[in-house]
Amino acid sequence: MNVLVLGAGQLARMMALAVKPLNINIRAFDVSSGNVVDPLTSNIIFNDLAQGIEFADFITAEFEHIDHQTLATCQASGKLRPASQAIKVGGDRRLEKSLLTQCAVANAQHKIIETKADFDQALNQLSFPLILKSALAGYDGKGQWRLKDKTTAEEVWLDIKAFFDGGEQGVKHAVIAEQMVPFDREVSLVGVRDSQGNTLVYPLTQNHHSKGVLSVSIATHVNEILQTQAQQVFDSIAKELDYVGVLAIEFFQVGEQLLVNEIAPRVHNSGHWTQQGADTCQFENHLRAVCDLPLGSTELIRPTAMINILGEDSVPNEILNVASTKLHWYGKSKRAGRKMGHINVSGKSEAQLASRLMLLANLLPEAAFDELKPYIAGYQNSLSS
Ligand code: AMP
């Protein structure tokens, strides 16, 4: 089976690694060069999209910010899974919010801002503090502003206006103003749906973000009430989109309630732990769904966590002395804050996982993993309380 992935980053690479034993060959469309490449070596296979489409039995995507012409061409081939509409929803917060409303799914109070009048209205209608997020092409904390109160409103508006003006011409830009949610935890659900409408979800994962970017995900046995709530949200969104493949949903947990933060129509960073903590990893399950193969079990086989390596191209070799630790590099060149690789670690129990995480936190350089130690200490405390 041959699959073309739109996007040639680490997610395409991890899909390729996961499904080679199934005899699924992955080629990746590099949207910046327009070439179709081998996702492991970056060697050019074809120099245009048309040949990539011709090669593929199915087409999927590893990210949602893909230009609409490319999506339309792939959709027209009848091979694209999930469908272009689902991919677009992930790339435009306006579409995402209207999907959540359509599915009656709880999320933060918000308002869409396209003009200064909308901005002023949002400031009067919503309660501070606010977070403002660009509707298009904003991710990992980029294209975001925070407002504690009205004192810096004018300054922030000028910045947003400059952001609109500097964006792609001929496109209607917007930001979404959202009330800050006083969450207890951030969690996410990764699940998979096949073309027959069958769904399976992984256990909820608790996530820590640092400067708007995911730094740690921990998957353990979870609260059944929250898991059921998250699964209901997954099922209704996936059904509404007639979704095929892996879909991730990020939530804010407030007490026993989950509010959706955002959805990602693809395999997700908070699901990398599934490579060693779940019966079938998210990358394999995505391709199983896309290629009409039976879905694999999403059961947790042992508590597992993932630590992102951001902006570093080496870590101390000693971390591999910590039992059940695995290192995954993406083969990218070093750049500040860039996702360069990740570390997965498991334990037979949550307590064992927590102590292995602490061993890792003590070995990793504090400058690059600055919030890791206090976060793991907090996780350890939560287990003993
Ligand atoms: P996002 O790009 O929407 O995932 O936002 C990045 C991070 O900013 C999230 O993971 C949260 O830590 C924080 N954040 C975003 N929206 C909100 C909100 N409405 N309330 C509180 N924190 C938020």
Question: How do the domains of the chain map onto residue ranges?
Answer: 2-80, 109-179, 185-384
Q: What is the mean pLDDT of residues 145-167?
A: 91
Q: How many CB atoms lie within 10 A of CB 100?
A: 23
Whole-model pTM: value is 0.96
Task: Give the model's pLDDT for residue 250.
Answer: 98
State which amino acid sits at residue 128.
F
Task: Give the model's pLDDT for residue 209.
Answer: 94
Class of the domain covering 185-384: alpha beta
> Is residue 103 within 6 Å of ligand 1 at its C-beta?
no
Q: CA-to-CA distance for 272 and 257, rounded, in angstroms?
A: 25
Q: CA-to-CA distance for 268 and 290, rounded, in angstroms?
A: 16
Is the predicted pLDDT of residue 12 greater than 60, yes or no? Answer: yes
Give 211 Cα–ligand 1 centroid separation in angstroms: 10
Lowest-pLDDT choice from 29-43, 69-83, 133-147, 265-279: 133-147
- From 126, 128, 131, 269, mutation site for ligand 1 pocket: most ligand atoms within 8 A of C-beta: 131
Percentage of the chain exceeding pLDDT 90? 92
Tokens of 344: 């997965």
Confidence of residue 335 (pLDDT cuts 50, 70, 90): very high
Mean pLDDT of the chain: 95
Task: Give the model's pLDDT for residue 212.
Answer: 83
Atom of ligand 1 nearest to the CA of 139: 2
Give 75 Cα–ligand 1 centroid separation in angstroms: 31
Give, using CA atoms, the residue closest to atom 11 of ligand 1: 212
For 293, which DSSP code? P
Atom of ligand 1 nearest to the CA of 181: 20
Helix (H, G, I), strand (E, B) or coil at 93: helix
Give 252 Cα–ligand 1 centroid separation in angstroms: 8
Confidence of residue 211 (pLDDT cuts 50, 70, 90): confident
> Is residue 186 within 6 Å of ligand 1 at its C-beta?
yes
Give, using CA atoms, the residue closest to atom 13 of ligand 1: 212
* Exposed e or buried b per residue across 22-37, where buried means at least 16 C-beta atoms within 10 angstroms of its C-beta: eebbbbbbbbeeebbb
- From 261, 262, 371, mutation site for ligand 1 pocket: most ligand atoms within 8 A of C-beta: 261
Give 365 Cα–ligand 1 centroid separation in angstroms: 26
Confidence of residue 275 (pLDDT cuts 50, 70, 90): very high
Tokens of 336: 């500040």
Q: What is the mean pLDDT of residues 139-168?
A: 86
> Is residue 133 within 6 Å of ligand 1 at its C-beta?
yes
Instruction: Give per-residue pLDDT as tens, 94-130.
Output: 999 999 999 999 999 999 999 999 999 999 999 999 9
Class of the domain covering 109-179: alpha beta
Task: Give the model's pLDDT for residue 222.
Answer: 75
Confidence of residue 170 (pLDDT cuts 50, 70, 90): confident
Q: CA-to-CA distance for 245 and 247, rounded, in angstroms?
A: 6
Q: What is the mean pLDDT of residues 58-75?
A: 96
DSSP for 40-71, written as a single string: TT--EEESSHHHHHHH-SEEEES-S---HHHH
3-state SS of 326-373? EEEECCCCCCCCCEEEEEEEECCCHHHHHHHHHHHHHHCCCCCCCCHH
Is the predicted pLDDT of residue 3 greater than 80, yes or no? Answer: yes
Q: Taking Cα atoms as reference points, which of 13, 14, 55 lies closest to residue 30?
A: 13
DSSP for 140-194, written as a single string: TT-SEEEESSGGGHHHHHHHHHHHHHHS-TTS---EEEEEPP--SEEEEEEEEE-
Task: Give the model's pLDDT for residue 138.
Answer: 56
> Is residue 308 within 6 Å of ligand 1 at its C-beta?
no
> Is residue 137 within 6 Å of ligand 1 at its C-beta?
no
Lowest-pLDDT choice from 113-122, 149-158, 164-173, 211-220: 164-173
Task: Give the model's pLDDT for residue 142.
Answer: 63
> Is residue 96 within 6 Å of ligand 1 at its C-beta?
no
> Is residue 209 within 6 Å of ligand 1 at its C-beta?
yes
The number of helices, as runs of H, and strands, as runs of E, in the chain is 12, 18
Contact 99, 129 (CB under 8 A): no
Phi and psi torsions of 336, nearest 5°: -55, 130
Give 212 Cα–ligand 1 centroid separation in angstroms: 7
- Which residues have C-beta within 8 Å of that of residue 226, sequence separation ≥ 6? 187, 204, 253, 256, 258
> Is residue 262 within 6 Å of ligand 1 at its C-beta?
yes
Confidence of residue 385 (pLDDT cuts 50, 70, 90): confident
Task: Give the model's pLDDT for residue 141.
Answer: 55
> Is residue 131 within 6 Å of ligand 1 at its C-beta?
yes
Of 1.10.10.10, 3.40.50.720, 3.40.30.10, 3.40.50.20, which CATH number belongs to 2-80? Answer: 3.40.50.20
